[in-house]
Amino acid sequence: MIQTARLDLVIAREMQLRAELESRDALAASLGCDVPSSWPPEFYDEDAVRYSLDWLRDHPSEAEWGFYYFLERAAAGERRTLVGAGGFKGPPDADGLVELGYSIVPERRRRGYATEATRAMLAFAFASPRVQTVMGQTLPSLVGSIGVLEKAGFEFVGAGADPHAPPGEQVIRYAITRERWQL
């Protein structure tokens, strides 16, 4: 688990991913949290859950380079709330590049959760000597997502690629290097 000031980023395990495919209530029970009716967030769907489940089965020893659930901590005696999801698209490649992504449910946006989670994932990634660059991809229409990347220190590097991008939208890519992160 990665912790921030307000969030617990919980590594998705097979049990949670299977529960998510079953129902919102099953996911809530497996995570021990409240799951809002707006779940799942935009651009996170059943295909993404199945991808994460397959990836985890193929890479069980590298779960920390996979998918996370973002849980907002609660006051004593209350349950945490699932506010988002994200993580890495696998471990760093031979060049030290790792890609991250994130998504927050609509009613919890504009509270800094995506930026907080992204900064925590950057700290986790750069704690590994294997990581030299972290990349994030988004769409030009997702102004909030671009803001998250820029607040976290990423710089625009050009066109990206994602076969699941909506028709007519060109993916754009942002990156941050280890050197820039350490500044």
- Mean pLDDT per 10-residue section of the chain, whose length is 183 residues: 95 96 96 96 89 93 95 91 96 97 94 96 97 96 94 95 83 96 80
CA nearest to 113, candidates 157, 68, 155, 154: 68
Helix axes 113-126, 143-151, angle to 10 degrees: 40
Give how many domains the chain has, as a whole number.
Answer: 1
CA pair distance 145, 135, nearest whole angstrom: 13
The pTM assigned to this predicted structure is 0.93
The parent domain of residue 129 ranges over 2-182
What is the predicted pLDDT for the residue at 165? 81
**What CATH number is given to the structural domain containing 56?**
3.40.630.30
